[in-house]
Structure 1
């Protein structure tokens, strides 16, 4: 990696660029190639997941307040938030976006968007690993928090 590439991605900008592209694909693909006849049950379940994911994402962002950043690098003067949705999972914004993207794919009955949602899960897992290394360096209390709270799914993962 060259020094300019390293500087460009020093705070995790590459993850953010990738997630924007994947999220855009998930959103746009069903609109460009709509699928007719999606079963009502899938549309209802998908809509419920979109609402749940949007609510979790919004609640998590509000709870972070000035600590919110799309980058895996924490704010220099930030604080570790361990309340609200952060008592359930360490990365609730990622969990919410995954729920919403899965819901969008299901509501539209679109396999391509469903596949991209799987790719987004993989990307968020990589980004979360990098973010957790950075949080451990920045916050001495992070390892204890990490032991208590799961990454994306309460009690599971």
Structure 2
């Protein structure tokens, strides 16, 4: 069972995430820059790919999928499939789709909302990872070898 404070924070994070996604969609597009047709098409493909990545990531969690970043009683540490490339493929897919959508819209305001969404997901993932490390003995080793969102390790 999760402490009450964790449940409250988890719900806040999910509410903020969906609020920013909603804002990204309802904020007027255009008036920022002209978007060439080829870029719009490429972005549409990336939106579909992002949604697909989200779906695959969610499906592979099975009964462990929750609406909040708190693992439920069915959760298992997933390190295969998309989880072998990134720790948070659902967030990866969301970020890919949201970025492509914002770029294709030609809206500076949507780009600002996108930056806020990226910052929120970064914080949400870090918060979630603390709870996952508490729940799963192998999580720290998995996190050390697997990137968070982008399936490329950047050397420091």
TM-score, normalised relative to structure 1:
0.87
Summarize deviations over 1:96-135 as a string: whole Å, max 9, x none. Answer: 0011011111222122112111111100000001100000
Matched with 1:49 is 46
- Asked whether the 8 Å contact 2:29–2:110 carries over to 1, the reply is no
Summarize deviations over 1:14-72 as a string: whole Å, max 9, x none. Answer: 1000001000011111xxx2427532133122112201211111111111111111311
In structure 2, C-alpha distance between the alignment counterparts of 1:49 and 1:113, rounded to whole Å:
17
1:6-85 counterparts in 2 under 5 A? 6=5, 9-10=8-9, 12-29=10-27, 33-35=28-30, 38-85=35-82
Shift of 1:74: 0.6
Shift of 1:154: 1.1
- Structure 2: which 5+ runs fail to align? none
- Structure 1: which 5+ runs fail to align? none
In structure 1, C-alpha distance between the alignment counterparts of 2:6 and 2:50, rounded to whole Å:
33
TM-score, normalised relative to structure 2:
0.87
Alignment size in residue pairs: 149
- Asked whether the 8 Å contact 1:88–1:149 carries over to 2, the reply is yes
Structure 1 runs of 4+ aligned residues shifted over 2 Å read 33-38
CA spacing shift, 1:46–1:73, aligned 2, 3 Å: same
Shift of 1:8: 5.6
Matched with 1:118 is 115
CA spacing shift, 1:7–1:95, aligned 2, 3 Å: closer
In structure 2, C-alpha distance between the alignment counterparts of 1:86 and 1:70, rounded to whole Å:
18
